[in-house]
Amino acid sequence: MELNKLLRPRKIAIIGATEKETMAGFATQMFLMQCEQRREDLYLVSRSNQEVHGKACYAKLEDLPENIDLAVICTPKTTVLSLLEEASAKGAKGAVVFASGYGETGKKEDIALEEELIRKAAELDMAVMGPNCAGFLNFVDRIFSFGFLFQARTKAGEVGVISQSGQVCMALMESDKLNFSYVISAGNSKIVSMEDYMEFLVYEKHTKVIAAYLEGIQNPVKFAAVLKIAAENKKPVVVLKAGRSEKGVRAAASHTGNLSGCDKNTDALLKKFGAIRVDDLEEMLSVCMAITTLPSLPRKNALAFVSISGGETTISADAGSQYGLDLPDFSVETTRRLKEVLPLFATAQNPMDLTGGSNGTTMENVVRIILEDPQIDMLVTGLQITKEISDVTIYDYLEGLIRYCRNGNGKPVAVIPMIESGRDSVILERLREVGVPILPPPHYGYRAVRHLLDYTEYLDTVSRRTLELYTSSQKLSKTRQALSEHESKQALKAYGIPCPQEKIAGTFREAIQIAEHMGYPVVMKIESPDILHKTEAKGVKIGIAGKEEAVQAFDEILENARVYNPKARINGILVQEMLRDGTEVIVGINNDMHLGPFVLLGLGGIFTEIFQDVVLYPAPLNQWEAGQMIDSLKGKPLFYGYRGKEALDIEALADFLVKVSRFAVDKKDSLSEMDINPVFVYPKGEGVSAADALIVYNIKA
């Protein structure tokens, strides 16, 4: 498919052109009234109108005097297939289909019609946007193919938007905070996918940041590959992914027919590949505005807050702290210089209140001195900028800030006002010109700054990551089959994953022989693929210290197992070396049948059950990424020798995770899930060991 023919066409035809207030009418009017410089590149096709808005119409596509690149089909879905063929005959390699009522309805006949549309597009080698879409706006070349009517920007920006909702596109464009390079309402996106549009924008030179509203990830492997390219080229991707809640998932599926994977898995995938995930459109606007306005992004978490109000200073400090923003003390030299320019009753500290005795010159000097401090990487000021600024002294402070930024040292500066009350458009533009964004009030504004810091920190780690994703290549049934504990451990041992000595005993005499050979104490467990919760079945005995205890344990475990599940297949009693105590963690695999396998790590025992201190990461992963997983746990101090205790063998645990990841990738076409719980982590240099394991496979459909 040639997306340039779709998104950057030379010649365009709108089919079904009209002056009526319909999507066809709005698309016609949008182009004719707001793309004046491209008017001669547009042809109108209508069977019922000889002209529309003063432009002549052709009755059929075949009547056009020259070939076209793009066909905008505004007619009912029953006409779409034949019109695609006619457009192809006139050279079109791109099409926009507004019509709805395809696969998103869930009806068999509509799904079949969508599949026929997909086949037809492939046959014609045509890039089709939609169906069930609002179209697109290309501000770079001034080409509008959009089914809603509004007054669009006259100026192109640097944000490329892709959305599976037309109203989301409209909401973003209603704000005056951003200009856009492209706005794409992709609809069902079953022919040209969201990932295809993202790939186009990654390479599009006029687009500095990509903003995507997703209701599902259609092609996870390509999605990851595109994010990898974006990360390597330092082009930020900001994602608003719907479907966090149960009802949100249902709404997304009914709206576009897409299936949403587990949200925690989606979150882990986005983090691995460096996408900035936001929670709503306001946050998306804020992050994109900051990225496209700032001359450079903050490289380290070292900010200075400067306000003209004590209350504002306190509110800012609290909000920044909520998002982990650091406010280093100024250096001795910076403090000395600040005292020379500040009013006598102002304190040279971070955060700083300039007090009422200051003015624009004070602001200019303070900003310059602070940003010349090597310990500070970004400055935020809380000047209150409204549509009608009542405090005239604000203008003086702004002039001082603008003077500095016009000739400053390139470190980022942002304005984060106390409340949201609109913007003085003149001030907004003047600040933009010198690279200063006006972000929303503190809790949105400082969250946006946090995203910038996380992103630049991520960019420093790109070369250390395994930027790959693997998904199942086979369709699996929902029927699952579990291995017994011993079978599970044998599979793990084949990957070099450390497990204790163990052997199956068919009789109590064999159990005694095995235990004496291993050396007491030992652990004895029921060995059965049908009894997965052995403790619940009273099928585990630990600390067996001698022959008599072994005999008694053997009989009790068998009896308890028969009571718990009379039909269970019993392979015998597993006699296992009793591991010495260590710090317990849980390691597992969740094989998301859409997104692929994810490695799970969590602190064991109550930390997992009550505090849910766990982290997910898409397989595969390397030693460095495994170390990052460990450091992501809230309980990570335990691994580094908390309160005088010995530091744990982090390297061995990281190696354990890497091997589990390798197993997950190799078994992605059959593995359902895996739990290794507990895994004992020992002091540094003493390794780790898996005390128990469970592997569950899906049976092929």
pLDDT digits (tens, 9 = 90+) for 531-545: 988 999 999 999 999
Residues 6+ apart with CB under 8 A from 631: none
Rounded to an integer, what distance in angstroms lies between the CA atom of residue 184 and that of residue 13? 18
Q: What are phi and psi of 412, to 5 degrees?
A: -70, 140
Rounded to an integer, what distance in angstroms lies between the CA atom of residue 312 and that of residue 322? 15
CA 111 to chain centre: 29
pLDDT digits 0-9 by tens, 304-349: 999 988 888 888 889 999 999 999 999 999 999 999 999 988 999 9
Rounded to an integer, what distance in angstroms lies between the CA atom of residue 350 and that of residue 569? 68
Instruction: Find out if CATH 3.40.50.261 is the number for domain 298-463.
Output: yes
Q: Which pTM was predicted?
A: 0.92
Q: CATH 3.30.1490.20 occupies which residues in the chain? A: 501-577
Q: CATH 3.40.50.720 occupies which residues in the chain? A: 1-152
Confidence (pLDDT) at 242: 87
CB 34 within 8 A of CB 26: no
CA-nearest of 156, 37, 36, 23 to 96 is 23
pLDDT digits 0-9 by tens, 533-590: 899 999 999 999 999 999 999 999 999 999 999 999 999 999 999 999 999 999 999 9
Q: CATH 3.30.470.20 occupies which residues in the chain? A: 583-700
CATH number of 158-178+185-293: 3.40.50.261
Kindly tell me if the per-residue pLDDT of 253 is higher than 70. no
Return the minimum-mean-pLDDT range out of 172-181, 203-212, 417-426, 622-631.
417-426
CA 518 to chain centre: 49
Query: Where residue 288 falls among pLDDT bands split at 50, 70, 90?
Result: very high
Query: Where residue 3 falls among pLDDT bands split at 50, 70, 90?
Result: very high
Q: CATH 3.40.50.261 occupies which residues in the chain? A: 158-178+185-293, 298-463
445-456 average pLDDT score: 97
Percent of the chain with pLDDT over 70: 96
Kindly tell me if the per-residue pLDDT of 258 is higher than 90. no
Rounded to an integer, what distance in angstroms lies between the CA atom of residue 218 and that of residue 224? 11
Confidence (pLDDT) at 260: 35
- Give Rg (Cα) of the chain: 31
Residues 6+ apart with CB under 8 A from 107: none
pLDDT digits 0-9 by tens, 462-520: 999 999 999 988 776 778 899 999 999 999 999 999 999 999 999 999 999 999 999 99
Fold of 1-152: Rossmann fold (3.40.50)
Confidence (pLDDT) at 608: 72
Output b/e per residue, 485-523; b: 16+ Cβ within 10 A: bbbbbebbeeeebbbbebbebeebebbbebbeebeeebb
Is it true that the peptide bond before 620 is cis, omega within 30 degrees of 0? yes
pLDDT digits 0-9 by tens, 38-63: 999 999 999 999 999 999 999 999 99
CA-nearest of 360, 372, 382 to 334 is 372
Taken as a whole, the chain contains a residue count of 701
Rounded to an integer, what distance in angstroms lies between the CA atom of residue 47 and that of residue 68? 19
Q: In this structure, what is the dihedral angle of CA atoms 637, 640, 642, 647, given to the nearest 10 degrees?
A: 150
Residue indicated by tokens 């809790």: 443
Instruction: Find out if CATH 3.30.1490.100 is the number for domain 583-700.
Output: no
SS3 171: helix
Per DSSP, helices labelled H in 504-646 are 508-518, 547-564, 606-609, 623-632
Kindly tell me if the per-residue pLDDT of 216 is higher than 50. yes
Query: Where residue 386 falls among pLDDT bands split at 50, 70, 90?
Result: confident
Residue indicated by tokens 């402070």: 397
Q: CA of 109: how far to CAs of 73, 103, 115, in Å?
A: 21, 9, 10
181-197 average pLDDT score: 96
CA-nearest of 205, 184, 196 to 226 is 196
Q: What are phi and psi of 423, to 5 degrees?
A: -140, 140
Instruction: Find out if CATH 3.30.1490.20 is the number for domain 501-577.
Output: yes
Confidence (pLDDT) at 479: 82
pLDDT digits 0-9 by tens, 648-658: 999 999 999 99
Residue indicated by tokens 């963690």: 585
Taking all residues of the chain, what is their mean pLDDT, rounded to a whole number? 93
